[in-house]
Amino acid sequence: MEETVKKKPEEKLKPKLFSVMKQYSGAQFTKDVIAGIIVAVIALPLSIALALASGVSPEQGLYTAIVAGFIVSFLGGSRVQIAGPTAAFATIVAGIVASEGMDGLVISTVMAGIMMMIMGFCRFGGLIKYIPGTITAGFTFGIAVTIVIGQIKDFLGLTFREAPVETMDKLKEVVLCMDTFNLQAFLIGLLSLAILVFWPKKLEKIPASLIAVLVCSAVVKLSGMKVNTIGDLYTISSAPPHFSMPAVSLARVKALLPNAFTIAVLAAVESLLSCVVSDGMIGSKHRSNMELVAQGAANIGSALFGGIPATGAIARTAANVKNGGRTPVAGMVHSVVVLLILLVLMPYASMIPMPTIAAILFIVAYNMSGWRNIRNMIKTAPKSDIAVLFVTLILTVVFDLVVAIGAGLVLAALLFMKRMADVTEAHAWIDVDDEDTDPDNILLKKIPERTRVYEINGPMFFAAADKYKYLLDDTDIDVLVIRMRNVPAMDAAGVESLSRIIDRCEHHHIRAVFSHVNEQPMHLMEKAGLAGRIGKENFCTHIDTALARASEIEASLQKVG
């Protein structure tokens, strides 16, 4: 019996802003403005800290929050998403800047933006969920570890003799340069950390990072402590974002493709994860494909106007929701306020102590690490999933994210295929347990004398090919009935295996009859020409029909004989 399957309505490629403005009110505008201002105040120290962790100047973090933040809110598929620089990119960006320079980063980010826009237009938003959670958890924790290692230098006030780029080289340099330990810098770092940990317990409304920046800057300035500040290491600029196009060549594009791919995948995963979290907070549903298009456009805009890669920031998005933001207007207000702060207050950023920046990034790393999630996975997940998690984590720290994600996906795919192969089987109906409650149990049916019935359970793909190669071991029959109701999918190797079975059937003058072939396997069999060889009349929708067809074939063969 054929079933009518209702198709899911296709997701709109329309920015949420244009949908919510139909019912927008003055009261909501007030809430959005207040939320936008609060989020801007939170984003200020974070954007500066993440820019420094990424190996770029402080204002470039603000450029990212301004340009990317505005574009994502204007074009995005979420009502409340706040975009900007995030900790996930810090290590990647620092590595690209160190090896390829700022031009290399701009080209990589623009290419990543183009990739994300293509993903959105091709409606790949739903495919992101197929990246295993163990890989996401592994590289997220790995990135947190690399951020912590990268900030030990400033937290302890060390003076490096070399300028290492790789995480393990930085850790080695920390050990070698412990003789340059600065007690005053360490004390400022501890004070910053104490404020960041304990302040939210008292006054959550005022961001702890802002208080840490103000208090520790004042302490260093007034006491004359010998502690490096941002102004000691960087030139501060209050100039607004300005357009700049790097020199592009085909050779450069080819060389930077792996970096661009990494940025695109990470930005897509983190943005859509942030959307899912915020959906749960406000009871809404984001448009994943539109969000990918917006994130792509935002990264292109950010790169061309002096910023760095951007994505949806879960913490800032949550702060937006908690403070009453319910439409993209709040995100746009946040970007405008950050721009005003850049133009008016940026020179004062030179007074922020580097140990305070390090402490802020320690807290960011702790919050993003997801250690509780990893602890639960270790307790409950199969050993194969735990292996994927730790391989991804270790490779993220020791090598880089490109290697980690690539190796994690390959390992996860191999383990998944092994699991699928383990559950795929082909068995004769006579092997079914007597107590089987299936109403179509063969014990309840009459099988023609010279007919054999086999059922294949599970996907027919290359890793399980050896599970059903014995289907025609018995050649002293007239009809082979193959039941495929539990075969949801098949690949080229599965088609090839069936083709070999049909070849043997033809060689031994055995007729093949198929019962309940699902849509995807049937499509492949038709495409491969197998359906034509078998004959339309030999495809049956039910085991009863297949057995009746087998009886007809046997009867016709007896007449001929």
Cβ atoms of residues 515 and 540 within 8 Å: yes
Residue range 421-432: mean pLDDT, rounded: 57
- pLDDT tens-digit series, residues 159-218: 998 878 788 888 999 999 999 999 999 999 999 999 999 988 777 677 888 899 999 999
Alpha-carbon distance of 454 to 543, in angstroms, equals 11
- The DSSP 8-state label assigned to residue 97 in this structure reads H
Q: pLDDT tens-digit profile of 461-500?
A: 766 666 666 666 667 889 999 989 888 888 877 888 888 8
pLDDT (0 to 100) of residue 472: 65
128-151 per-residue burial string, b: 16 or more CB within 10 A, e: under 16: beebbbbbbbbbbbbbbbbbbbbb
Q: Which of 121-130, 173-182, 465-474, 518-527 has the lowest mean pLDDT?
A: 465-474
Residue 168 φ/ψ, nearest 5 degrees: -65, -30
pLDDT given for residue 430 in this prediction: 46
Neighbouring C-alpha atoms within 13 Å toward the C-beta of 202: 8
- What DSSP character marks residue 174? H
Cβ density class 192-230: b for 16+ within 10 Å, e for less: bbebbeebbeeeeeebbbbbbbbbbbebbeeeebebbbb
β-bridge pairing 511-515 and 479-486: parallel
All domains in the chain, ordered by first residue: 25-372 (no CATH), 425-560 (3.30.750.24)
Eight-state DSSP code of residue 538: G
β-bridge pairing 539-540 and 311-312: unpaired
For residue 450, how many other CB atoms are within 10 A of its CB? Answer: 15
Residue 455: predicted pLDDT: 84
**Average per-residue pLDDT in the chain?**
87
DSSP state for residue 480 in the 8-state scheme? E
| CB distance 113 to 298 below 8 Å | yes
- Amino acid 425 reads E
Q: Phi and psi at residue 488, in whole multiples of 5°?
A: -75, -30
**What pLDDT, on the 0 to 100 scale, is given for residue 36?**
95
**Which tokens belong to 500?**
């070999």
Question: What pTM does this model have?
Answer: 0.73
**12 contacts 293 by C-beta, under 8 angstroms:** no
| Residue 294 confidence (pLDDT) above 50 | yes
For residues 239-245, average pLDDT: 93
